[in-house]
Structure 1
Amino acid sequence: MKLRIVLTAALALAATSGVSRAADPRYPDWPCTQAKVPEISLAAVWAGPALDDVQNKWKDDAKVSALVSKLSARRTPIDEAEKLVKEFLAASATDKTANAKLLFAGLFDTLNAQRSQVMNGLERVSRKQREAADKIRDETLQLQALQGATQRDEAKVEALSNELIWKTRIFEDRNKVVRFVCEVPTTIDQRLFALGRVIQQEME
């Protein structure tokens, strides 16, 4: 039983190696297999008219601001979001181009901010996982020493074994969450690209 606990901890540490050694040395805390792209490039998602003249003005338009909030929420299905864009721009009449630019500027700012928040969170968790892995490794060595002692302190062995089981479980659960959250930046990219395409199509 005790040997299995030690092996479980060792396996957890082996899994950490992929988290702690980043593929790109520029981002040592980035835990995902997907390449880290700090910000979405405007040119990659927008081929419409320049947005220089709108900047943060979308925040001053109550309708645009409210729509941006709804469109950027991941709980809003993309097909519903596209429909809302079309309805909004269809009702814009003579102000369609101006409203389209405001809407996309808002989406670009908001979704980029969401990406940054998610990515910063992933790197924070990555650092915590590295610290947790170090503690698990140290406690695994302590447990091995206790198990191999001539006069075993069974109470200490049991206490440390239970602590290792708990810490390993938390570690593994966090790894699962990290793998899931690593998909979020790509999902945000796809949402911005899709909505930008609809906005541009409605402007034509």
Structure 2
Amino acid sequence: MRLGIVTMAALALAVASTVARAADPRYPDWPCTQAKVPEISLAAVWAGPPLDDVQSKWKDDAKVSALVSKLAARKTPLDEAEKSVKDFLAGSASDKTANAKLLFAGLFDTLNAQRSSVMSGLERVSHKQREAADKIREETLQLQALQGAKPPDETKVEALSNQLIWETRIFEDRRKVVRFVCEVPTTIDQRLFALGRVIQQEME
């Protein structure tokens, strides 16, 4: 039993030490290897006519608003979203440019908001991970001290060992989730770029 507990304590210390230091000091809680870009630049995804005259007006158009919700949802396959854009603009006739601008303005606002929400969530989890790592490190040292006592209190050793196993498992599960979610902002960027390109092509 003693060997298993010592091994577990070493593992807990190793896990606690895996909390990476932020690459960019401006964003200390940013956990992803990808650089943090707080929001998508309009110029990076839109080369069409200026959107100044539409801004939030897309919200006042029920048809556009409904379509924006569908297109922005990650559960909607991108090829299906692109087809929906083409079908919508094909039926717009003389209002095609106006509707295209409204549609992209809605997508830009909605996907930027989605992206910000995901990024904020990642930073909250990252902050919790740092706190969890500190706790695991501290409790591991406590466990090692208990193991070194003469004689050791086996009840306390086992209780703290079990607690560390549980906390380490939660830490590892969160780390896997973070690694997966770190890809989401990039996926949103790509979706907005792809849909923006289709909208601009349909305007020509």
**Shorter-normalised TM-score: what interval?**
over 0.9
- Aligned with 1:15: secondary structure? coil
- Aligned with 1:56: secondary structure? helix
- Unaligned residue ranges in structure 2 (runs of 5+): none
Question: What's the offset of the Cα at 1:149?
Answer: 0.3
CA distance in 2, matches of 1:190, 1:200: 15
CA distance in 2, matches of 1:5, 1:190: 42
What's the counterpart of residue 134 of structure 2?
A: 134
Letter in 2 for 1:6: A
Would you say 1:10 and 2:24 are equivalent positions?
no
What's the counterpart of residue 172 of structure 2?
A: 172
What's the counterpart of residue 116 of structure 2?
A: 116
Query: Under a length normalisation based on structure 1, what TM-score does the superposition of the two structures give?
Result: 0.98
What's the counterpart of residue 26 of structure 1?
A: 26
Would you say 1:45 and 2:48 are equivalent positions?
no
Question: What's the offset of the Cα at 1:14?
Answer: 2.2
> Structure 1 segments of 4 or more deviating over 3 A?
none
CA distance in 1, matches of 2:10, 2:153: 20
Identity %: 82
CA distance in 2, matches of 1:123, 1:146: 35
Would you say 1:105 and 2:108 are equivalent positions?
no
CA contact (8 A) 2:15 2:168 kept: yes
Question: What's the offset of the Cα at 1:102?
Answer: 0.1
CA distance in 2, matches of 1:151, 1:10: 24
CA contact (8 A) 2:17 2:133 kept: no
C-alpha RMSD of the superposition: 0.5
Letter in 1 for 2:15: A
What's the counterpart of residue 68 of structure 2?
A: 68
Q: Can you list the C-alpha shifts for 1:64-109, whole angstroms capped at 9, x where unaligned?
A: 0000000000000000000000000001111000000000000000
Q: Can you list the C-alpha shifts for 1:138-181, whole angstroms capped at 9, x where unaligned?
A: 00000000000002111110100000000000000100000000
- Unaligned residue ranges in structure 1 (runs of 5+): none
Question: What's the offset of the Cα at 1:10?
Answer: 1.2
CA distance in 2, matches of 1:25, 1:165: 32
Query: Under a length normalisation based on structure 2, what TM-score does the superposition of the two structures give?
Result: 0.98
CA distance in 1, matches of 2:91, 2:33: 43
What's the counterpart of residue 187 of structure 2?
A: 187
Number of aligned positions between the proteins: 201
- Aligned with 2:151: secondary structure? coil
- Aligned with 2:162: secondary structure? helix
CA distance in 1, matches of 2:60, 2:195: 21
CA contact (8 A) 2:107 2:192 kept: yes
